[in-house]
Chain A
Amino acid sequence: MSGTVIEEREVVRSARSPRRTSGFLHRHRWLQLSGLLSAPMLWLLVAYLGALAMMFITAFWTTDPFTNDVIRVWSLENFKQLVSDRAYLNVAVRSVVVASLVTLVCAVIALPMAFFMARVVRPRWRGAFVVAVLTPLWASYLVKVYAWRVMLQTDGVLDSLLRPIGLSSPGFGLAAIVIVLTYLWLPYMILPVYAGLERLPDSYVDASSDLGARTARTFRSVMLPMVFPSLVAGSIFTFSLSLGDYITAQIVGGKVQLIGNVVQTNIVLNLPFAAAVATIPVAVMVIYLAVVSRTGALDNL
């Protein structure tokens, strides 16, 4: 009898410290929550928001024109220059157009591919298709873009394929940039759409055909609205990644410059101006996300 009491007390005593801590935290929930969130919040505040804030503050400074040292005096000179020179408006518009085209072409290619993967392929083989779509992501970015450079160049692969039918490779330029960016970001568009289509219950399609709709009508009225949030999710990737891209423009763009190139050439010796230019894609993305959330697509993700 007494043996068990002593053992019980020892058990309780040895379990006291962790019990105490968990009891304390249970009573002070906010402490528990902040402890859990401290690491990610620190990352979000310092590494992410802090870095962005630092960049925007730099946009209000200037540089010494000869030594290129940053002068920490507040001024709106960089923004004035951005607005006054038409070239920056041109490059911003061009970048938005490229990003939109890439998103559109990605969506057009991804939808049939994802549909095939989600609804036509036998469930056994779906995994293999997903792996096939994901495999290019393992290859280095630079390797892929340089491979496209070789394909696009005069008398390259595209030329030899298209010459027999009277066309020729687009060469280096805007078309090349759109082609390469579409190729690079296609997996990011296919996967969300595939996930969305896979989630679509078969009963909806059956019900639609029961009600007399043909395939096209079913697709338009039942599938597309349900897969729209996935398309939007994919488009956020393709749009934002294309908006900031500069390496592809450098390698296959010929003499075309996108907003990322302007930032890159100025970040070397005129950091404040590069920071000012960088506010443009941020503003564009904020507007894009606002429009997207307005459509309600983000609520259904």
Chain B
Amino acid sequence: MRASRRATLATVAGALVLVAAGCGGDDSGGTTTATGGLRPPKLEALKTLGPGEGQVNLVAWAGYVEDGSNDPKVDWVTGFEKATGCQVNVKIGNSSDEMVQLIKSGQYDAVSASGDASLRLIAAGDVAPVNTALIPNYKDVFDGLKNQPWNTVNGVNYGVPHGRGANLLMWRTDKVSPDPDSWSVVFDPSSPYKGKITAYDSPIYIADAALYLMATRPDLGIKNPYALDDKQFQASIDLLKQQKGTIGEYWVDYLKEVQAFKSGDSVVGTTWQVIANVAQGEGTPVKATLPKEGATGWSDTWMVATKAKHPNCAYMWLNHIISPEANAAVAEYFGEAPSNKLACAKTVDPNHCAIFHADDEAYFSKVWYWNTPIQQCLDGRTDVRCKNYAEWTQAWTSLRNS
């Protein structure tokens, strides 16, 4: 017995020594934003567009790459596959964190990144600059979306805009009355819907709490929900802790939220328009609205991975998804404002662009696009240090387990 125990210990120690010898010790080459601005590594954009490689692997939000398998009438992929010969394989990312991880694996060619993922990908060198001269449809993109801080760094363009929208408040019309118009219905500690409220399960949801505090606690002086100093951050976390008592379920999988609303386990909470559309399609009586305090939202960018194995097909996809027909189809299905001016003429509902404020910059000034919180405050303050995304993640994990 003793001899075999010694042998086991020796084996384990041996394994550890082997592994330790093989790694450890060297610094990472990554660039950080600890002090100065973003310093992405120098990468080259594709110079010329060659022939398609036969397939393209995409990471996308649910509802962005539809090939008719969810709804036979919703399909803007099959035509692309026939025209370019690039077979589309899509992996749905449920959150920005998941998308960053998937792109880092090096197995995908393009990603529809929101603002809280795009800067991280750019800084780590996971995405390459995009040569917009190779994308003919780029010229028709709304000017308000081009060259924005989340897709352009130091004058270098890293992607093409997909569209933008807001995170809405959804409720069961038969279980919630009167129709809510404010986020107070999910942040009220004595809410009548206690135990049936839902919220997005991601650290970025802290910004939603900060947004609510912007309207209800002006004394905190929050100017940008992604630029929170110690006091503002603590106030947001306290609000979320208080909300947790009323929450029934946090959602990250959009189909689980659809099912939760359908069964009545959730009756009010944060949502995307596509979730409301799918739920209504299944016969659930729901409605969604942009509350009066404004909302967080997203402005997504299609980016090409540095390690893309099929770069030509990736560029062809980028050009296709912002073409007027495809952009109109995805904007209507998902429920967001398209990025291509000419898409507004192609939507089935002629008022789509008006409803979603496609070129209404004043409206989108009330929508705070998902952004990556960094130490230098995004609202321009230099006298305080803001919380970075790692601290947001730690606080969120702490909150979920407290």
A residues bordering B, Cβ < 8 Å? 45, 49-50, 53-54, 56-57, 60-61, 63-74, 81, 85-88, 90-91, 150, 153-156, 171-172, 251, 254-255, 257, 261-262, 265-266, 268-270
Contacts and interface: CB of A to CB of B under 8 A. Distances in A.
11 contacts: A53-B12, A54-B19, A65-B388, A66-B120, A68-B104, A71-B27, A90-B402, A153-B263, A155-B263, A171-B265, A268-B101
Contact of A49 (B12, B32, B123, B397): B12
Interface string B317-345: 00000000000000000000000000000
Given A65-B389, A73-B25, 11 more contacts: A53-B19, A61-B24, A65-B391, A66-B32, A66-B123, A67-B120, A68-B120, A88-B401, A153-B264, A262-B397, A266-B393
B64 to A, nearest CB: 20
Contacts of A63: 390
Interface stretch (B156-164, B213-221, B241-249, B354-362): B241-249
B26 interface: yes
B390 A57 contact: no
Given A68-B100, A72-B24, A53 B397 contact: no
A114 to B, nearest CB: 31
A70 B246 CA distance: 37
Contact of A72 (B27, B249, B399): B27
B379 interface: no
B148 interface: no
A261 B98 CA distance: 14
B333 to A, nearest CB: 26
A71 B25 CA distance: 9
Nearest to B25: A72
A67 B124 contact: yes
A141 B388 CA distance: 38
Contact of B248 (A57, A255, A262): A255
Contact of B390 (A65, A86, A154, A257): A65
Given A53-B19, A66-B372, A172 B265 contact: yes
Interface in B94-149: 97-98, 100-101, 104, 120, 123-124
B374 interface: yes
Interface string B21-38: 001111110111100000
Contacts of A67: 30-32, 120, 123-124
Nearest to B398: A87
A69 B397 contact: no
Interface string B257-277: 000000111000000000000
Interface string B373-394: 0100000000000001111011
Contact of B249 (A66, A81, A255, A261): A255
Contacts of B391: 65
A69 B393 contact: no
B15 interface: yes
Of A66, A68, A74, A251, most B-chain CB atoms within 10 Å: A66
Nearest to A70: B28
A81 B398 CA distance: 11
Nearest to A253: B249
Given A86-B402, A255-B249, A154 B27 contact: no
Contacts of A68: 100-101, 104, 120, 124
Contacts of B374: 66
A254 B248 contact: yes
Contacts of A270: 390, 393
Nearest to A69: B30
A155 B264 contact: yes
B30 A91 contact: no
A257 B264 contact: no
